[in-house]
Amino acid sequence: MSKAKNYIVGIFDDHDKLLNGVEATKNEGYKISDVISPYPIHEVIESLNLKTRIPVLALLYGIFAVLVTFGFLYWTSVVDYPLRFGGKPQNTLSFVVVIFVMTINITSAFTIVTFFLREKKGPGAKAHVIDEGLGDDKYAIILDEEEEKTAQQEEYLKQIGAIRIVHDKQK
C-alpha cells in the first residue's frame, strides 16, 4: 500500500473560471494532480495533456478477435468434424459473417473490461467524493500539496476564483 498523499482542492462554480484557472495554474508552476467536473470538458483534457491508449488496445483486441474466430471456425468445420454438403467448400467465404459479428462482440467486451480495470471501477466500488456538488454544477482543481507552500497554494486558488478550499488525503 502506498502512503497517503495530501492534496489541496479548490472548488469552483463557474465553467470559465475553471478553464482560465487550469491554464493559469499550469503557467504558475503548480502541479495539477487532476480536475473534476460534472461533464467532460475537452479544453481541460487538452491543457492537462492527457492521453489514453484505449484505441490502440481496441485495435489489438479486434485483430485478436478476427484470428480467434477464424481459427475456431476453421478448426470445427475443416479439422475436427468436416462435413461436405452440396459440394460446397468447407473453408467458406460465408465465415465472414460470424467473424464480423464476433469481432464486434469480443472487441466491445474486452474494451469495456479494459476501461473498468484501468479506472479501477466496478459494481460497488467505493467513490472518493471530495464535494457533493461535483456531480452537479461544481468543479475542482486538485493540487499536490507542497509542504512549505501550503498557505501560498491556498491563497493562489482563491485568487483565481475558487469559492472554497478543501484539504484531501488519498492513497
Polymer length in residues for the chain: 171
Cβ distance to another protein smaller for residue 94 or 152: 94
Residue in 38, 71, 155, 167 binding another protein, rule: CB under 8 A: 38
Which window, 23-31, 132-140, 146-154, 158-166, contacts another protein (CB under 8 A)? 132-140
C-alpha cell at 8: 489541496
Task: Name residues contacting another protein, limited to 99-128 (CB under 8 A).
Answer: 100-102, 104-105, 107-109, 111-112, 115-116, 118-128
In contact, 162 and 30? CB cutoff 8 Å: no
Decide: 16 and 147 in contact? Cβ < 8 Å.
no
* Contacts for 44 with CB less than 8 Å, ≥ 6 apart: 18, 19, 22, 35, 37
Among 55, 84, 87, 151, binds another protein (CB under 8 A): 55
Closest CA to 9 of 115, 120, 105, 144: 144
Give the nearest distance from C-beta 123 to another protein in angstroms.
6
Question: CB–CB of 15/160 below 8 Å?
Answer: no
| CB of residue 45 to another protein, shortest distance in Å | 5
Residues 71-100 that bind another protein (CB under 8 A): 72-73, 76-77, 80-81, 88, 92, 94-95, 97-98, 100
